[in-house]
Amino acid sequence: MFEARQSGYRSAMNEIPEGMIRQLSYYRDAELRGAGLLLHMNSREDDASARTNLTRHIADESRHAWLITKRIADLGAAPVAVEDGYQTRMARAAGVPRTLLELYAVTLVAEERARARYAAHLESGAGDAGTIDLLRAISADEVWHLQWVHRRLQAFVAEVGAAHVEATLGRYRAADAAVTADLAALEREVLGFALAAAPSALAGASPPV
C-alpha cells in the first residue's frame, strides 16, 4: 500500500513540474526567513557559545536557500515569490516572538517541522534524483540544529521554570499544527495530494525540555 502511494506521489509530481518548483520555492522561503530570524536572535544573544552556534546555523540556512535556488535553476526555472510561507503563517497564528525564549521556542518548533517535512518528502519519493539528494543533504544538517537549540532552551528552565518553557513551546506547536494543516490543504489544491500527509518517523523528534 505504501509503495502504491509512493508511486502515486512520483507520478503526480512528475506530471506537474510547476508544482515541484512551487514546492521548492516554499522550502527556499522557509530557509531564507529562518536565516533572518536567527540573525535577529544573534543580535540579542549575550551568551558567547550561543552566538557561535547561531553563526553556524545562519550559514547553514543561507546555504540551504542557495542550494535550493540552484536546484530550481538547474530544473530550468526561477523561484516563485512566496508571500504566505510557513514563517509568515506562524507569525499570524501565534504572534511575532518578542522574547529570546519565544525566539528559541519558535525556532525549535520550526526545525522540528523542517526535519519532519523533508523526511516526508524523501519518504514519498517525489521528484528527480537531484532534488532527492539535495533534500537528504539538507535534512542531515537539521539534526545538529535541533540538538543545539534544544540545549539552549534548557538554559531557560533555570531562569523561568520548566512549566513556562513547556507552555511557550506548546503555544508554538499548536500554531505549527494549524499552519501545517493549512499548507497541506494548499498542496492538495496545487498538486492533488499533500506531502505533509506522508508518514514520518521523525515528526516530533525533539525530547521534552
CA angle in degrees (0–180, nearest 5) for 114-115-119:
115
pLDDT attached to residue 137: 97
Report in angstroms the alpha-carbon separations of 3 from 191, 198, 202: 19, 12, 19
pLDDT tens sequence for the chain (209 residues): 334 334 444 444 444 478 889 899 999 999 999 999 999 999 999 999 999 999 999 999 999 999 999 999 999 999 999 999 999 999 999 999 999 999 999 999 999 999 999 999 999 888 899 999 999 999 999 999 999 999 999 999 999 999 999 999 999 999 999 999 999 888 777 666 676 544 333 333 444 45
pLDDT attached to residue 14: 47
pLDDT attached to residue 12: 42
pLDDT attached to residue 15: 44
First to last CA, the chain: 37
Sequence-ordered list of residues with C-beta below 8 angstroms from that of 107, at least 6 positions apart, any chain:
34, 37, 38, 41, 149
pTM for this model (two decimals): 0.84
Distance (Å, rounded) from C-alpha 198 to C-alpha 120?
5
Find cell 543545539 and name the residue: 148
pLDDT attached to residue 142: 95
Find cell 508544482 and name the residue: 19
pLDDT attached to residue 6: 43
pLDDT attached to residue 19: 83
> What domains can you pick out in the chain, each with its CATH number?
2-197 (1.20.1260.10)
Distance (Å, rounded) from C-alpha 138 to C-alpha 71?
13
pLDDT attached to residue 198: 42
Find cell 519532519 and name the residue: 116
Distance (Å, rounded) from C-alpha 60 to C-alpha 203?
21
